[in-house]
Amino acid sequence: MMPRVLRQCAALARMNILSIPQRIWMSVSTCFAIALVVAVLLVFLAMGNGFKQAQSSAGAADIAIVLRDGAQTEISSTVSREQVMLLEEAPGIARASGKPLLSAELYVIVDGIRRSNGLKSNLPLRGLGVEGAALRHNVRIVQGRMFRSGTNELVVGQGVTREFAGFDLGHTLRLGQTVWTVVGIFADGGTVRESELWADVGVVQSVFHRLNVFQTVRARLASPAALATLKSHVANDPRLQLVVESEAEYFSEQAKQSSGLIQNLGWPLAIIMAIGALAGALNTMYSSVAARGTEIATLRAIGFGGIPTFAGTLAEALALSIVGGLFGVLAATVVFNGYSASTLSSNFTQVIFTFKMTPALCVRALWLAITIGLIGGILPAIRAARLPIVGMLGEQ
C-alpha cells in the first residue's frame, strides 16, 4: 500500500514541476519575489556577521587590557603614569630579559575624510608603547614599514586606506599643529584594528597636550591562566582603581554592545516582505490548481489518491520557493559578499568591516524561502486534494 502512495506522490510531483513552464510568468514572478526576500535577509545577516566578527575576532586570550574602573570603552578610560609604573611590577605579566611586555596607550579621535561622500568621520589614532605592535599577534605590515619611536610617523590599518582618503603610503597629513607621514600599512585579518591609525605614544601625548596621560594598558600574560593572578592583584591595590580583562573578553563585550538597530533589522524586514511574497506564492499555487482542475479530476478518476494530489501541489510550491531561495542566496553573495562598509562603534570611532556570508547564514535564509513555499503550498494543495471529481469533469 505505502509504496504505491509514494510512487503516486513522486509521479504527481514530477508532473506538477514539469508543467511549471505552462504557468511560466506567474511562477517566475513568485520565484523572483522569494529571491528578493531571501537576498534582503541574507545581506542584513551578512552585514551583522561581518560587523560582529571584525570586533570579536580581534581579541586574544593571552593579552590583558586594563581600563579605569567603570569605563566601558577605551575612549572613556584614563590611566595615569603612576598606575602604569605600578602595573609594570604586577604579577602575571610576561617578561622578556627582565622587562615587562606591556604597552601604555593613548587613544585620540581624529577626522578622516570618507572616500564615498567626502564627509568627515571619526577615526581612532592610537599611541602605542614600544611593545605595542608585538602585543598584536596577527598584525603584519603589508606596505612600507613600522613607525619609529619619537617621530611623527603613522602606520595605518588597511581598512582605513580602503574607506578614507589621504592615508595612502607616503602621504602626509596635518593633525593639530603637526604634520604626519604615513610610513606603513598594516593588515590584521579584517578585524577592528584595521580601522586604526598607529603612532608613538609619546608623540601623540605631546601633540594632543596629554602629557603623562594614558587611556589603556595592554600586557602580554605569562599564560592565559595568569589573568586571574593579575586581576586579583589589581583589585587588591587601592592605588590602582582599574579593571583587567582579557582582550578576548573585552572585544566580545564590545561586539555585544554595538550590534545596533541596523544589524537587527534583517529578520523583521524579511518576515514582513515574506508575507508579501507569500501572497504571491498563494496566488500562483491557487491558479495552478485552478488551471489543472480537469487534469487533477482525471487523475483522481483513474485512481490517484488525495494524498498524492496534495503532495504534488506542495512539491510544486516547494520547488518554486527553493529555486527562488537559491537564486536569492546566489545574487546576494555575488553582489554583497566582501562589500566594505563602516559604522560607529561604542568607542565612538568608525569600525570598518566587510559583509560576510557563511554557509550557516545561507541555510538560515533558505529556510525562510522553504517556509514561504510550505505555507504557500499547503492551502492550495488541500484545495487540490478536495476538488470534486464529478464537478470538474462535468464542467467542459
Partner 1 sequence: MNQALLVAKNLGRRKLRTGLMLLALLIAFFLYGCLESFDRAFYASQNSAADNRLVSVNKVNFTLPLPISYGAQIGLVPGVSAVSYQSWFGGYYQDPRQFLIMFASDPAGYLAVYPNLQVTPAERTAWLADRTGLLVGRTVATKYHWHVGDHVPISSNIYTRAKGSHTWDFTISGIYSFPTDPAREGQVIMRHDYFDETVTFGRDTINMVMFTTKSAALNEAVIKRIDTQFANSPYETTTDTAAAFNRAFASQLGNIALIIRLVLISAFAAILLIVGNTMVMAVRERTREIGVLKTLGFSGTAIMMQILAESMLLSVTGALLGLAVAGLLITGLKDVIAGFAPGMHLAWQEVVGALGWAVVLGLATGGLPAWSGLKLRIATALGRI
The least CB distance from residue 294 to partner 1, in Å, is 13
Measured distance CA(35)–CA(128) in Å, rounded? 48
3-state secondary structure of 199: strand
Tell me if 242 contacts partner 1 by CB under 8 A: no
3-state secondary structure of 270: helix
12 or 108, CB closer to partner 1? 108
The least CB distance from residue 45 to partner 1, in Å, is 14
The least CB distance from residue 51 to partner 1, in Å, is 10
Binding partner 1 (rule: CB under 8 A), the pick from 72, 181, 340, 358 is 72
Tell me if 211 contacts partner 1 by CB under 8 A: no
The least CB distance from residue 247 to partner 1, in Å, is 20
Tell me if 96 contacts partner 1 by CB under 8 A: no
Q: What are 110's three cell numbers?
A: 581624529
3-state secondary structure of 352: strand
Stretch that binds partner 1, among 27-35, 191-199, 222-230, 384-392 (CB under 8 A): 27-35
Binding partner 1 (rule: CB under 8 A), the pick from 13, 36, 65, 156 is 36
The β-bridge partners of 107 are: 126
Binding partner 1 (rule: CB under 8 A), the pick from 241, 259, 337, 340 is 241
Tell me if 320 contacts partner 1 by CB under 8 A: no
Tell me if 67 contacts partner 1 by CB under 8 A: no
Print the binding letters for residues 256-295 with partner 1: x by CB under 8 A, - otherwise. -----xx------x--xx-xxx-xx-xx--xx--------
End-to-end CA distance of the chain: give it in Å, rounded. Answer: 34
Across the chain, the runs of DSSP E, i.e. the strands, are 63-68, 79-80, 95-96, 99-100, 102-114, 120-128, 140-144, 153-157, 164-165, 172-175, 178-187, 197-200, 213-214, 216-220, 242-246, 340-344, 350-354
Binding partner 1 (rule: CB under 8 A), the pick from 176, 338, 388, 391 is 176
The least CB distance from residue 131 to partner 1, in Å, is 27
Print the binding letters for residues 118-137 with partner 1: x by CB under 8 A, - otherwise. -xxxx---------------
Measured distance CA(128)–CA(105) in Å, rounded? 5
Measured distance CA(393)–CA(387) in Å, rounded? 10
Tell me if 181 contacts partner 1 by CB under 8 A: no
Answer yes or no: are the C-beta atoms of 62 and 223 closer than 8 Å: yes
Q: Which of 87, 142, 136, 78 is nearest to 106 (CA)?
A: 78
Across 254-368, the runs of DSSP E, i.e. the strands, are 340-344, 350-354
Binding partner 1 (rule: CB under 8 A), the pick from 1, 89, 98, 117 is 117
Tell me if 179 contacts partner 1 by CB under 8 A: no
Which CA distances in Å does 275 have to 366, 373, 375? 15, 11, 10
The least CB distance from residue 173 to partner 1, in Å, is 11
Query: Which residues in the 146-175 window bind partner 1 by CB under 8 A?
Result: 175
57 or 343, CB closer to partner 1? 343
Tell me if 350 contacts partner 1 by CB under 8 A: yes
Binding partner 1 (rule: CB under 8 A), the pick from 209, 211, 212, 359 is 209
102 or 175, CB closer to partner 1? 175
Q: What are 146's three cell numbers?
A: 613600522
**Which position has the grid cell 607621514?**
181
CB burial readout 229-253, b (16+ within 10 A) else e: bbbebbeeeeebebbbbbbbebbbb
The least CB distance from residue 215 to partner 1, in Å, is 11
Q: How many chain residues interact with partner 1 (CB under 8 A)?
A: 54
The least CB distance from residue 320 to partner 1, in Å, is 13
The 8-class DSSP code of residue 93 comes to B
Nearest-10 Cα torsion for 274, 278, 284, 286: 170
CB burial readout 356-378, b (16+ within 10 A) else e: bbeeebbebbbebbeebbebbbb
Tell me if 344 contacts partner 1 by CB under 8 A: yes
Chain residues that interact with partner 1, rule: CB under 8 A: 25-26, 29-30, 32-33, 36-37, 39-40, 70-73, 75-76, 78, 108-111, 114, 116-117, 119-122, 175-177, 208-209, 241, 261-262, 269, 272-273, 275-277, 279-280, 282-283, 286-287, 341-344, 348, 350
